[in-house]
């Protein structure tokens, strides 16, 4: 597990931090993710995708669950934005999407697909929230997201 943590923690922390936007929360979610990965590893199926993709989805889903929780929403209202460490600091230097090729791959998507992928996977939006944000039908968001995933999966192979 130590080797696994050393290899993946920086990338996972960066994705989590982009979603929760607070260092303390990101550290907590990363710890939860590592425990969940440890306990859920027997359910990982290599035929369905790469290990990194699986652990990224586990971590991302935990981060989204965190920001949707009542406790998180209440605590975020009690802290002014100008006091938020995430507002003053850029994303951690240790997370570089270019190391695993994410930026190059998403650049190959058409602009509509790329915008949806950014909102869904890097900003933590739900498909309904993306539809509201972009003022488009939910079905269009789902279709473009599905098409983007297909393009990305062929590029990865």
In sequence order, which ranges of 69-101 are alpha helices (DSSP H)? 70-77, 85-88, 97-100
Query: Tokens 């509509």 label which residue?
Result: 112
For the stretch 99-144, pLDDT in tens is: 456 667 787 888 888 888 888 877 778 888 889 888 999 888 899 8
For the stretch 1-59, pLDDT in tens is: 888 888 888 989 999 998 888 888 899 999 999 999 999 988 888 888 888 889 999 99
At 92 the pLDDT is: 53
For the stretch 50-91, pLDDT in tens is: 888 899 999 999 998 888 876 656 555 555 555 545 444 555
At 71 the pLDDT is: 64
Domain with CATH 1.10.1740.10 in the chain: 1-75
- CATH architecture entry for 1-75: Orthogonal Bundle (1.10)
Burial of 84 (0-12, 13-18, 19+ CB in 10 A): middle
At 31 the pLDDT is: 92
8 A C-beta contact, residue 137 and residue 147: no
At 13 the pLDDT is: 92
8 A C-beta contact, residue 64 and residue 124: yes
Number of residues assigned to the chain: 157
Sign of CA dihedral 42, 48, 54, 60: negative
DSSP state of 79: S
Return the H-helix or E-strand segment holding 133.
Answer: helix 127-134
Domain with CATH 1.10.10.10 in the chain: 99-156
At 98 the pLDDT is: 47
At 73 the pLDDT is: 60
The domain over range 99-156 is classified in CATH as 1.10.10.10: yes
């Amino acid at each position: 597990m130590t080797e696994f943590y050393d290899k993946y923690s920086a990338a996972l922390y960066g994705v989590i931090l982009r979603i929760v936007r607070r260092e303390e929360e990101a550290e907590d979610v990363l710890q939860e993710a590592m425990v969940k990965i440890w306990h859920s590893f027997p359910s990982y199926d290599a035929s369905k995708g790469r290990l990194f993709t699986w652990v990224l989805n586990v971590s991302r889903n935990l981060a989204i669950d965190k920001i949707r929780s009542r406790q998180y929403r209440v605590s975020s209202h009690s802290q002014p934005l100008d006091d938020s460490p995430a507002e003053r600091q850029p994303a951690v230097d240790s997370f570089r999407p270019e190391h695993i090729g994410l930026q190059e791959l998403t650049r190959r998507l058409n602009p509509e697909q790329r915008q949806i992928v950014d909102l869904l996977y890097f900003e933590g939006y739900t498909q309904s929230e993306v539809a509201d944000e972009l003022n488009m039908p939910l079905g269009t968001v789902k279709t473009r997201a599905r098409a983007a995933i297909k393009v990305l999966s062929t590029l990865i192979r």
